[in-house]
Chains A and B, each alone.
Chain A
Amino acid sequence: MDFLMSVLESTIRFAAPIILCTLGGIFTYKANIINIGLEGIMLFGGFATALILYFLGFYWLSVLGAVMAGVLVGLLFCYFGITRKGNFIITGFAINLLAMSFGFYTLALLGRTDIPVVRHRATMIRLDFPLIRDIPYLGRLLNNHPLFTYVAYFSIFIVFVILYRTRFGVHLRVTGESPEAAKAVGLKVDRIKYIGVVIGSIFVALAGFNVTLEHLGTYTPVITAGIGFIAIAAIYCGRGSPGASSLYAILFGLMRALSVRLSLMIGAVAGLFQALPYLTVIIILAVVAIIRNQRTNVRSYTHE
């Protein structure tokens, strides 16, 4: 029971940044853009968080910094991918490398191996709900998480509302599904894509904040550990629906939690267990694709 509880509790924590990344990526997915730069945007978010906390030390300023980092990198992606009509797979990849190399360069200049923000964890906001706290088991699972862990789960609802219940959401989806139709009814396609990507990037950058401060308490250029790519797999499996994709994100969070918990128990082969989440993501991705392929039942090789 204790093992189960600790796995479930870790799942809630590990899934939070994956959900944020997934939701952020959905905005670009809906605009029919593949953004493989999620990893980089998240890393920039974490970088801004760590720098602000390390040098200035204000909690809300670091949140703002992460958001600003998201906006700026989102705009950079848009300028290259949309305005200049670049190959956005390569643009996204460049953003990933940019985020990493900025980090490594800054660390080399500072002469450090990481930027620790552990001492600021005392000032970070945790939510304590008296009502939930007293429920046996559930209280331990759901209560007293850091603020942005809750924000992640609440965002599933927010993103659903933005995409399906607002004018902007309709415009964004039309733009992605049929740019000609969108243009024909007079929508400013590029501007809608810009807004979509930038909103998405804010969610992704907050995932960086979440990992840097609320989980690890430190920044290195490898903290994202493939979460951005796992999120892309989640989006693909859930076909860009906020609910379904987030469920996959939670499933992948569970895999991560399992691998961490199991490796704590087992010891030497721990290294191998860390590979488990990535392998399961690949397997799930393959299974989903195989099932989908059987349904479409086409004569020849088709490209999506």
Chain B
Amino acid sequence: MDRDGRIMKVLNVLLPVFLALLFGAVFIAIAGENPLTTYATLVQRSLFDFRGLMQTLHFAAPLILTGLAIGISFKAGLFNLGVEACLLMSGLFVAVLGFRLGHLPSPVLIPLLLGAGILVGILTIIIPALLKAFFNVSELVVTLLMNYAVILLVMYLATYVFRDPSRGYISTHVISSNAIFSRLFGTRLTLFFFVALAVFVLAFVIYKYMRLGYEMNALGKNLQFSEAVGINVRWKIVTIMSISGALGGLAGAGWMMSHAYAYTPWFSTNPGLGWEGLLISLLGSESPLGILIAAIFYGALKYGGYTIARYTSVPSEIIGVIQAFLILFLSIQFIRRHRLLDRFKGWFKTDKSHTEEGA
């Protein structure tokens, strides 16, 4: 991609962020607070404070994974919106296994549980994947509806089958201390963040250097072409959906073992780590590096949301409002073709012929 394309891409992300914060400011004002000082508190607490920054990274960890999960499927032209379902299923089963297998030592138990989470994630997404691959059933509608079914199923299991009766609210047993990622440097950060980081590196390598990355791109750009050059489209769809589900499952397992420790109805927070993954993959324009940055940005926003709820009268629900506006503005390309860029260029007097690439 040429330099202009890159500048345009960055502007197309920064402008929606700015606009979403602007609209969020209106809602903060409705709550009777000064938007500027509120945002200042948010940034101060979540980025310019060591403990706060570690909190931000802690919140970013599952978001990196769900962002990649959705980014990978979008890249291949598949609308997998079932990441939330994978995450919930994996969270519940890891909670149960983390309690039942608590006697195993940490070095065995933690990888085992992460593996179990991945497996549950794949199993959750496999039916929509097969339906899409072999019968061309819209994966968008199926995965969306599956979320509702899975939420009810998981709630049922947590309420009646795996419930810890000693707790006053719906919750499974707390997982064994052997299954918990220990905290680092006395902060909220755990090893799970580095697991997510490792997955990011892996995704980066696959996108850039491996055949699967190329095939994903081809699939997303032109299905007929992909098939014509000999890609087995059906199995590729199943593979990519499975990877997506696996990442969702891993996110659920990690979040359970680094933050939640027991399955409760608010395990995935509001509006849900899987949904936030959608925002993050859009914000990161589906590239792994972009997703990493977006996840950390959103982690800051999320942790900042809790802090402003504590220090001001703005409810933490404001983050949901900003998030929705952000997705809305990200759905369009603000700068199309190079019209605006041409104007910038006129100011800086560089003459380079531009292509339509990246427009």
CA distance A269 to B157 in the complex (A): 10
Interface contacts (Cβ under 8 Å), in number, total 146
B interface residues, Cβ below 8 angstroms from A: 27, 30-31, 79, 81, 131, 135-138, 140-142, 144-146, 148-149, 152-153, 155-156, 159-160, 223-224, 227, 233-234, 270-271, 275, 278, 282, 315-318, 320-321, 323-325, 327-328, 330-333
From A54-62, A99-107, A200-208, give the one contacting chain B.
A99-107
A90-B330, A94-B327, A97-B324 known; A289+B137 contact, CB < 8 A: yes
A interface residues, Cβ below 8 angstroms from B: 36, 80-81, 84-91, 93-95, 97-98, 100-102, 104-105, 107-109, 225-226, 229-230, 232-233, 236, 268-269, 271-272, 274-275, 278-279, 281-282, 285-286, 289-290, 293, 300-304
- Known pairs A229-B145, A282-B142, A300-B224 / 19 extra A-B pairs, C-beta < 8 Å: A87-B332, A90-B282, A93-B278, A94-B325, A94-B328, A97-B271, A97-B323, A102-B321, A105-B320, A108-B316, A226-B145, A269-B160, A271-B155, A272-B153, A278-B145, A278-B149, A278-B152, A285-B138, A289-B138
CA distance A268 to B156 in the complex (A): 9
Q: Chain A interface mostly helix, strand, loop or mixed?
A: helix
Are B331 and A94 interface neighbours, CB within 8 A? yes
Which of these, A84, A88, A108, A289, contacts B135 with CB under 8 Å?
Answer: A289
Which of these, A95, A105, A268, contacts B160 with CB under 8 Å?
Answer: A268
Q: With a CB–CB cut-off of 8 A, which chain B residues contact A98?
A: 321, 324-325, 328
Are A91 and B320 interface neighbours, CB within 8 A? no
Q: With a CB–CB cut-off of 8 A, which chain A residues contact B30?
A: 109
Q: With a CB–CB cut-off of 8 A, which chain A residues contact B275?
A: 97
CA distance A102 to B30 in the complex (A): 12
A84-B332, A105-B317 known; A271+B323 contact, CB < 8 A: no
Are B321 and A105 interface neighbours, CB within 8 A? yes
Are A275 and B152 interface neighbours, CB within 8 A? yes
CA distance A130 to B270 in the complex (A): 49
Which of these, A87, A230, A269, A300, contacts B227 with CB under 8 Å?
Answer: A300
Q: With a CB–CB cut-off of 8 A, which chain A residues contact B148?
A: 225-226, 229, 275, 278
CA distance A229 to B148 in the complex (A): 10
Q: With a CB–CB cut-off of 8 A, which chain B residues contact A89?
A: 79, 140
CA distance A241 to B159 in the complex (A): 42
